[in-house]
Amino acid sequence: MKGCMLCPRQCGAVRDDKEGLGFCRMPETMRIARIAPHLWEEPPISGEKGTGAVFFSGCTLRCAYCQNADISHRGLGRPFTPEQLADSLRRLVDLGCPTVSFITATPFVPQILKALTIYRPPVPLVWNTSGYETVDTLRVLEGVVDVYLPDLKHFSREMGQLCAKAADYFEAAGAAIREMCRQTGPAQYDRHGIMTRGVLVRHLILPGLTSESIALLDWVKDNLPEGTPVSLMRQYVPCNGVDIPGLDRPITAREYRRVRDHMLALELPGYEQEAASASAEFVPLFGEDESFV
Ligand code: SF4
C-alpha cells in the first residue's frame, strides 16, 4: 500500500482508521478539534458573523511556538466521518457564516472532498494553511477551494529548521503560494466585502527576526501578482513552552513599525492587526462539547 504523500514531509506513512505513523501523527479518519463560527480572521474572511471554522487536529508543520499546540502538537480532537462533517458544514451555513474555513486540513484532503460531494456549502470555501503544501495536493483542490489563506512564515532554511524542522519551508511555501495564485487569479470580493476568490497571504512577525519578515515581503512583491493582499500579524506570544533563544517575548512596537513601514513602502495592499491581539486569550476553546456547532 502506498503511504501518505499529501504534504512536503512526504512521509510515505501508513495511516489507518485509528493511528497514523507520519510526522503529523494523524490517522486516516478525520480528527477535528472545533467547528464553530470564528470572528478573529481578517474582515473579508470573517465578515460580521464569523467564518464557519473547522479546526482540524494535527499539523504538517508543528511550529515550536504554536498557539494552538493542543491540537497541532498534541492531537486533541474527535473523529469525524465525511457525513458528519457535511452535517456540520450545513449547520455553519444555517448560522449565517459568510465563508467556511478548513484550517490545517492537509492530512485529510480525500475525506474533505468526500464530505463536499455530500454537501457543498453555497459560500466561499477557504483553505487556511501553514503554507507548507505540495503543488500536487493543491492541484487536487483546484476548482474546489475559492480562497487560499496561506501563512508565509520563514525565509531562511535555518529558521525553517529551527522552528519547524522544515529547512525546505520557504521553498515549499513559495511554490505553493504561486500555485494558489495561479488557481484563483486576482482577489475578488462580494458587495459585503467578503472575499469570494483569491489568495490572502499571512505573515506573523517574530521577535528579533524583522529581517526575515522584510525578505518575505520583498519576495511577495517580486513574485506574486500585483494586488495580492498581505495580512501582517503582530500577535506573537511565546506559547507551548517554546525554548528557542529569542522567541521568549512578544515583538516590540519598534519591530512592528519596521516591518509595517516596509510593507507600506512596497505598496502591498492588506491588513494590519491591532496590538491588543497579542494575547493568549484569543486562543479558541478546543475539544469541549461547546466547541462544536
Ligand atoms: S500529511 Fe502527515 S503523514 Fe502525510 S506526508 Fe504529511 S506529515 Fe506525513
Ligand 1 centroid – CA 107 distance (Å): 6
Q: Give me the CATH topology for the region 30-291.
A: TIM Barrel (3.20.20)
- Digit-coded pLDDT (tens) for 65-76: 998 899 999 999
Q: Which candidate, 156, 187, 188, places its Cα nearest to that of 173?
A: 156
pLDDT tens digits for range 16-41: 999 999 999 999 999 999 999 999 89
List the domain boundaries for the chain.
30-291
Band of residue 288 on the pLDDT scale cut at 50, 70, 90: confident
What burial class does residue 271 get, using C-beta atoms within 10 Å of its C-beta: 0-12 exposed, 13-18 middle, 19+ buried?
A: middle
Q: Which of 109, 187, 191 is nearest to 149 (CA)?
A: 187
Residue 104: name the closest of 85, 127, 126 by CA: 127
**Average pLDDT estimate for 157-184:** 98
pLDDT above 60 (res 281): no
**1 has pLDDT over 80:** no
Q: Which ligand 1 atom sits closest to the C-alpha of 26?
A: 2
**What's the predicted TM-score (pTM) here?**
0.95
pLDDT in the model for residue 291: 84
pLDDT-derived band at 286, boundaries 50, 70, 90: confident
Say if ligand 1 is within 6 A of residue 24 CB: yes
From start to end of the chain, where are the E strands?
30-38, 51-56, 78-80, 100-103, 125-129, 147-150, 188-189, 195-199, 201-204, 230-233, 270-272
- Average pLDDT of the chain is 94
Question: What is the 228 CA–ligand 1 centroid distance (Å)?
Answer: 29
Confidence of residue 273 (pLDDT cuts 50, 70, 90): confident
Mutation test residue for ligand 1: of 2, 19, 26, 130, the one with most atoms within 8 Å of CB:
26
Question: Which of 11, 19, 165 to mutate to test ligand 1, by most ligand atoms within 8 A of the CB atom?
Answer: 11
* Choice from 6, 28, 61, 138 to test ligand 1 binding pocket (greatest atom count within 8 A of CB): 6
